[in-house]
Structure 1
Amino acid sequence: MATAQAVSSVTQVHVTDFPVVLEETKANNTRAQAQHVKLPVTVAGICERMEDVDCYAVDLKRGQRFVAEVFAQRVTHKIHGMVVRGPRIYLMDPLLALYDANGRLLAACDNRFGPDPILEFEVPADGTYYLELRDARYAGDPRYAYCIELSTRPYRLATFPLAVQEGQTVSARAIDLKGQLREEVSLVGDPWPKGQRRHRADEPLRARVRAQAEGQATNELAYLVSPLPQAVEPEGDHGSWEKAAPLEWPRGISGRLSRADEVDYYAFEAKKGQAYAFEVYAKRLGFPLDAVLEIYDAKGRLMVEADDHPVEKTKDSRLYWAAPADGRYCVAVRDLHDRGGEDFYYYLDGRPAEPDFEVRGEYYYAMLAPGTRMIWFVDIARYHGFDGPVTIEVDGLPEGVTQTPITVPPTMKRAAVILSADKSAPLGAALVTVRGRATIGEGEGAREVVRDGYVTCEQQGSGGGQARWPIRTQIVGVVKPMDLVEVVAEPQELKLAPGEKAELRVRIRRREGFKDGVTLAMSFDYFTTKFGEQLPPGVTVAPGSTARLTGDQLEGKIILQAAKNATSVERLPIAVLARVAITFSITTNYCSNPVYLTVEKK
């Protein structure tokens, strides 16, 4: 959100099909106090104190299938500052129970979509029923907000197959909560939206469809639209490397681990040096599988494995691998805890990998008063032999805001994104996208590749630590003057020879009356963790630098030192951070004018 004063940290909004009512302010802790609601409805409530229990009454008829789905962690897990009583109580862990008018427990659910429960119940008789929602630990806090969707609409999880190739339409079946295949649906492979970029090569698009069940439309079902050819897991036993099902890549596979200890093996022929990219979608589609990917050689020896996605912070796995020799190999999919069942579906995306890159970003919001600057950071991950420069762009900046041009040289991974607001910039805000652009290949085989950035937001964790979560939107706002009016670093051209030092003089201008401490730095640190860096390898901040300006202090210095083997760069734009604390763990990252750093060759 953006106002004339500031932009907010991230929040999440749940969009529902049903009318929304608020939890009443009067007590609803018991069935006698239950809030009566009319179906279908989405109730927005809060378990605002320890041992709080929220009760809702619904009128149901015999034969109806009642569905109650809670959205709690799914709509709060990326929001900063959700620690209630650390280190043990962190985020709401909802527990759902259904009772009849006599207080008899009829159904209950704890964890289904992560900690969020869903309850499906066939009504045995006409009457009033009571739904009880609380935290599983009897915790509570004003930040324990939730939405609960209540209806008698048929509920389905997803579709099988789980994906369709772009440009095609295929018939699929809806999957119910027990993992059973039900109604037919059509999956339409609409092309990737114009102007929207992929984070990685051949990334599938997420689409949605509704099934028709029991004479009415279901909830929306997620499926994937992929540029790759599609297949379903073949029938028969392929639960060992000797019996692996043969496949050719590129391909997407829709499969299922239908019993505990099941492992699905897929065999393929590979040439020495050929790189492959494999990725599983399961948790991201609502299934319980905690996927592990493994590669075996022709003798059944485990060569490499991967657990969890390194960027999207999900239990879905991604694995990049290059064949060490010509031969037969197997890729295997299993559950980390050797679980399986009717609803342990997965989608495996596999392809020969070409040279490519990813952009990973830090930070996701900036608020600039006219005439000031702020700084973000990027981290370039180059893959499969790509070793070229990457130009960073910020698309969609508000009027009067510009980005200092930056191309990350082949010898560097990390760099600064410096945002500047003109002195005449009008107040306003815009959602923006951080992108990387590079030319890969040479001559007639050269191709321009543009990748949207994986940008993360911070979240305060238990015990004072910070977690990072991917976020799909970034915001830049032009706001009224804030604590720092100006940050200046001189000289604007700085040269360093290997083994030598150079000094940046830093001067700040404070808003009248602002005397809080201002931290000067060249990297974005949280305790000992560096979340954002911009200096070339081998260039560091030397002792004697000013770490903090307090009270009426307005001037300091940053001393940069180049090691004898420091990476050479020419006119790399960097900036001095001037950090002002907002909370224990959130700071506003002002920065200086760009300083163009040259590190000479040895």
Structure 2
Amino acid sequence: MRKHRLFFIAAILFGGPRAVLGGAPSIERFFPAGGKRGTEFTLNVVGAGFERASEILFYSPGVECLALKPTGDNELEIRLKSREDAAIGPYAFRLRNPQGLSELHTVLLTNQPVEPESEPNDEVSKANEKSRNLTWAGVLENGDVDCYAITLKKGERLAAEVASVRSGSVLLDTSIRVFSPDGALIGSVDDTPLFYQDPFITLIAPQDGRYVVEVQGTNRDGDDNSRYLLSLGDFPRPAAVYPAGGQAGMTVKVQFRGDAAGDFEQSFALPESPAPGFGLIASRDGREAPSASPFRVSPFPNVLEEIRGPSPAQLPAAFNGVLSTMGEADTFEFNVSNREPIQFESFAYRIGSPIDTVIAILDGEGETLISNDDDGSHDSRLVFVPPAPGKYSLEIRDKRRAGRPDFIYRVEATRLQPQLTAFVSRPERLSQERQTVAVPRGNRIMTTFAVQRRHFKGDVQLSTSGGPQGVLFSEARIDADRYWTPTIVEASKDAPLNAMLIDVLASGNDGDRSVQGKFQQVVDLIAGSADALFQSAVVDRLAVVVIEPVPFHVDLLQPEAPVAKDGTLDLQLKLTREPGFTGSVEVVIPFLPPWVDGPSEVVIKPGETMAVYRLRAHPKAAVREWTICAEAMAGGRSGRRAESALPGANDPLPVAPPPEVAVASELVKLTVGSSPVAGKLEEVVTEQGAAVSVSCSIEAHGQLPETMTAELEGLPNRVTASPVAIARGEGRVQFELHLAPDAPVGVFPDLVVRLTGTLNGESVSYCVGRSGTLRVEPRGGLFRDESGRALSRLEVLQRATAGPKSEGK
């Protein structure tokens, strides 16, 4: 690990964005990646927004914060304490200051003492060595190699395991090499099915002496954030567990496989309601593995391939087996008593097995009725609708027809049940943007609740419980044809600056049954190219924080008129400023109905309090009532500082809100309606330099402004028509069209008449006569027939070749 302080040099020279602007805390990196359970340990954190850091918010019990000691705004020391009975593995947390919460990070708990590496250790001869069963904390910078030693006797087990990607920092793809006491390379590992980019190795020492384990990045790249934990000792480190799951609340005996000292059995009492990421810790001869083996816990019994009864299985059930030989395919018989749909879902890749499963349902004659390969991963899933009651078979095989003793699978078969899962939608993938709710005291913000429906098609009601004092959520209902809805969160003026994790419940009715679901958010930690996600954290509650006030409020006034299809509506925006705040504010409408658009933002300039946001509804917009709101941010969404004047030596500081805090208006109803007026624009044929009248019929179908201004749009350059006033009830509007001598020649098919007026106090417009056509001929090139109809160029040519020419203009 080479230590650099470039971040702090930049902060000193340039101030850093957060040093000038403040804002929610942001953690760039911390070291070490974890600590031993049952102990106190310290994290040294680099980032921004630490000077007023006040709290660590953990998503699960087992770890607590004892102290936060900032050194300026960019360095922080966090003192943590974990319980003796805390589960080993990752613990998700956020850091809070008065202006918000940090991104989600994870700290790892291990069952071994954690020791920081000691540089230099980039050569075998300089390898760090201490006691056995120790977890080394290191950092691999560009081109770095770290070496660690352990002394063993012949026949003892050597086990080494890296946790890097699992620490949730960066995509550090590591590899391990093991050297014997005489310097020979006796083992190397890169990726593994169990932990993917995090390697592990287990072997039996062939001789007495000092063994060296070398850790490096596979691409030899890295930086200050490329941290890892290396657990090194004589502990068990199995590669697989069989069966791969068990029934909730029961005791299950499993076999751990793939350890160098041989396979072994162990019994576990399974929880009634396991937490996300549940796993089993292998233990042997008083030693524990440093991390868990993934393990499914389900509410139905196991069916094991080696212990199958004489009768077909009854569903629901979990089918467990091993494809131990090349080309092997396992089958399980099961009975169905009706034609209700059944879901079969395999678990292999997701629990560390190398199998790429293919599952199929066979009838009594062995014919395939339905099959599936991948379903979002290498694991399979299908829904089988039995053609009739009776006996069927489930078949499982590897797509490549491969097989090994660690090709373990589990297929869970259940009756289809409606399921609801609530979450917070995000503006872009592989991002933590808008994954928390930060509401300024005395103000409002907008968040978007969403729901994932499985085998459910109805409306969904969302409710929250357990929020900070003084915080209220608006009603959240998601219609059957939508998957998300905006929700306004408001904090009272006296709400304490505080953060809490709240529960979000989704509920709906499926016929006469009530369906309920909980909150589950997948938080992206490490992303790769092409939308690849290498590490994430799953949390079951939403983080809500009350932050310091923002010196303005925004209101979107309730529109009293609908926006008509193929028309516009001017929305009124109102900004209420606190004394002392005079800067500019950027206002956006964060979401609009399909086929309705508007400007990307509207800027309310310094000192101003009102603005107009013009909506445009395209002809394809659906006639419907929608809910919208406005969001406002000081200086703009790029994080610019509000444009208030810099103070003099004796002037009070200007009110400057934190950057990237968008406050919201209340939700208002927006109606997209059918156009109340129609019209037909006559075709216009003329020539350069001419003046001609253009007429459009007007037919009212609904309420219109008392007076309107008609404008002819879509004209080419150097062709003009003055606006015309028109009163409600008039059936026609006429324009005088003037063409310059050099007006462009050709056919212009996009003429349209726009009628603009005031309805219910709001500016509206409607388009009629769309697709009107203007044909411009060269000067002297326009010909008409005896009735005065303009001739096309083809007709002119035909008349010229057939006989007397038509008379000119």
Note the alpha carbon deviations across 1:283-335, whole angstroms, 9 max, x for none.
343333344444566673464525244xxxx5444444545777766544344
Q: Does 1:62 align with 2:165?
A: no
2:268 is aligned to 187
Preserved contact between residue 628 and residue 670 of structure 2 (Cα < 8 Å): no
1: CA distance, partners of 2:278 / 2:530: 38
Note the alpha carbon deviations across 1:120-174, whole angstroms, 9 max, x for none.
1212333222221111111112221111111212223454223222343333333
Q: Are the structure 2 counterparts of residues 505 and 331 from structure 1 closer, same or farther at C-alpha, using a change threshold of 3 Å?
A: farther
User: Unaligned 5+ residue runs, structure 1?
Assistant: 83-90, 197-204, 237-244, 524-534
TM-score (norm 1): 0.77
1:200 is aligned to none
* 1:40-189 map, 5 Å: 40-48=133-141, 50-76=142-168, 82=170, 91-112=171-192, 113-157=195-239, 159-177=241-259, 181-183=263-265, 185-189=266-270
Preserved contact between residue 498 and residue 599 of structure 1 (Cα < 8 Å): no
TM-score (norm 2): 0.59
Which stretch shows the higher mean deviation, 163-172 or 108-117? 163-172
Question: SS at the partner of 1:32?
Answer: helix
1:256 is aligned to 322
Question: SS at the partner of 2:236?
Answer: coil
2:100 is aligned to 6
2:801 is aligned to none
Q: Out of 573, 579, 593, which is 2:665 matched to?
A: 593
* Partner amino acid, structure 1, of 2:112: F
Q: Out of 276, 282, 307, which is 2:374 matched to?
A: 307
Q: Out of 336, 343, 363, which is 1:277 matched to?
A: 343
**RMSD (Å) for aligned C-alpha atoms:** 4.0
1:345 is aligned to 408
1: CA distance, partners of 2:360 / 2:660: 43
Question: SS at the partner of 2:125?
Answer: helix
2: CA distance, partners of 1:179 / 1:327: 46
Q: Does 1:358 align with 2:421?
A: yes
Deviation at 1:214, TM superposition (A): 3.0
Note the alpha carbon deviations across 1:32-73, whole angstroms, 9 max, x for none.
33222322211121112x211111222333332111100111
Which stretch shows the higher mean deviation, 122-131 or 453-462? 453-462
Q: Are the structure 2 counterparts of residues 211 and 518 from structure 1 closer, same or farther at C-alpha, using a change threshold of 3 Å?
A: same
* Partner amino acid, structure 1, of 2:285: E
Question: SS at the partner of 1:491?
Answer: coil
Which stretch shows the higher mean deviation, 346-355 or 276-285? 276-285
2:599 is aligned to 545
1: CA distance, partners of 2:300 / 2:345: 13
User: Unaligned 5+ residue runs, structure 2?
Assistant: 1-93, 426-433, 641-658, 675-809
1: CA distance, partners of 2:479 / 2:416: 23
Preserved contact between residue 304 and residue 321 of structure 2 (Cα < 8 Å): yes
Q: Are the structure 2 counterparts of residues 426 and 344 from structure 1 closer, same or farther at C-alpha, using a change threshold of 3 Å?
A: same
* 1:440-459 map, 5 Å: 440-442=510-512, 446-457=513-524
Preserved contact between residue 361 and residue 456 of structure 1 (Cα < 8 Å): no
2: CA distance, partners of 1:379 / 1:567: 23
Q: Out of 472, 490, 498, which is 1:428 matched to?
A: 498
Q: Are the structure 2 counterparts of residues 338 and 8 from structure 1 closer, same or farther at C-alpha, using a change threshold of 3 Å?
A: farther
Preserved contact between residue 160 and residue 181 of structure 1 (Cα < 8 Å): no
Q: Does 1:576 align with 2:647?
A: no
* Partner amino acid, structure 1, of 2:148: Y
Question: SS at the partner of 1:410?
Answer: coil
Deviation at 1:111, TM superposition (A): 0.7
Question: SS at the partner of 1:452?
Answer: coil
1:20 is aligned to 114
Question: SS at the partner of 2:615?
Answer: strand
* Partner amino acid, structure 2, of 1:368: V
Deviation at 1:5, TM superposition (A): 3.1
Note the alpha carbon deviations across 1:485-529, whole angstroms, 9 max, x for none.
433322278856777654433456799899799572434xxxxxx
Q: Are the structure 2 counterparts of residues 450 and 226 from structure 1 closer, same or farther at C-alpha, using a change threshold of 3 Å?
A: same
2:26 is aligned to none
Number of positions where the alignment pairs a residue of Structure 1 with one of Structure 2: 542
Question: SS at the partner of 1:70?
Answer: strand
Q: Are the structure 2 counterparts of residues 519 and 299 from structure 1 closer, same or farther at C-alpha, using a change threshold of 3 Å?
A: farther
Note the alpha carbon deviations across 1:161-189, whole angstroms, 9 max, x for none.
23222343333333344797422x22324
Q: Out of 593, 609, 617, which is 1:561 matched to?
A: 617
Q: Are the structure 2 counterparts of residues 348 and 454 from structure 1 closer, same or farther at C-alpha, using a change threshold of 3 Å?
A: farther
Preserved contact between residue 505 and residue 516 of structure 2 (Cα < 8 Å): no
* Partner amino acid, structure 2, of 1:343: D
Q: Are the structure 2 counterparts of residues 422 and 188 from structure 1 closer, same or farther at C-alpha, using a change threshold of 3 Å?
A: same
Q: Out of 546, 551, 554, which is 1:478 matched to?
A: 546
Question: SS at the partner of 1:74?
Answer: helix
Q: Does 1:520 align with 2:583?
A: no
Question: SS at the partner of 1:63?
Answer: coil
2: CA distance, partners of 1:7 / 1:51: 34
Preserved contact between residue 42 and residue 147 of structure 1 (Cα < 8 Å): yes
Q: Are the structure 2 counterparts of residues 466 and 280 from structure 1 closer, same or farther at C-alpha, using a change threshold of 3 Å?
A: closer
Q: Are the structure 2 counterparts of residues 180 and 101 from structure 1 closer, same or farther at C-alpha, using a change threshold of 3 Å?
A: closer
Note the alpha carbon deviations across 1:405-451, whole angstroms, 9 max, x for none.
11112232221233222222211212234331223331xxx334233
* 1:221-240 map, 5 Å: 221-234=293-306
Preserved contact between residue 487 and residue 593 of structure 1 (Cα < 8 Å): yes
Q: Are the structure 2 counterparts of residues 460 and 190 from structure 1 closer, same or farther at C-alpha, using a change threshold of 3 Å?
A: closer
Which stretch shows the higher mean deviation, 415-424 or 500-509? 500-509
2: CA distance, partners of 1:496 / 1:180: 73
Deviation at 1:574, TM superposition (A): 3.7
2: CA distance, partners of 1:319 / 1:588: 44
Preserved contact between residue 210 and residue 217 of structure 1 (Cα < 8 Å): yes
Question: SS at the partner of 2:345?
Answer: strand
Preserved contact between residue 371 and residue 486 of structure 1 (Cα < 8 Å): no
1:87 is aligned to none
Deviation at 1:468, TM superposition (A): 9.7
Preserved contact between residue 573 and residue 594 of structure 1 (Cα < 8 Å): no
Between structure 1 and structure 2, the one with the greater Rg is 2
Provide the identity percentage: 25
1:242 is aligned to none
Question: SS at the partner of 2:237?
Answer: coil
Q: Are the structure 2 counterparts of residues 164 and 563 from structure 1 closer, same or farther at C-alpha, using a change threshold of 3 Å?
A: farther
Greater length-normalized contact order (CA 8 Å, ≥ 6 residues apart)? 1
Q: Out of 373, 396, 407, which is 2:477 matched to?
A: 407
Note the alpha carbon deviations across 1:467-499, whole angstroms, 9 max, x for none.
9956315422222346x8433322278856777
1:34 is aligned to 127
Q: Are the structure 2 counterparts of residues 252 and 47 from structure 1 closer, same or farther at C-alpha, using a change threshold of 3 Å?
A: same
1: CA distance, partners of 2:383 / 2:587: 39
Deviation at 1:93, TM superposition (A): 0.8
Preserved contact between residue 587 and residue 630 of structure 2 (Cα < 8 Å): no
Preserved contact between residue 507 and residue 514 of structure 2 (Cα < 8 Å): no
1: CA distance, partners of 2:574 / 2:328: 63
Preserved contact between residue 165 and residue 534 of structure 2 (Cα < 8 Å): no
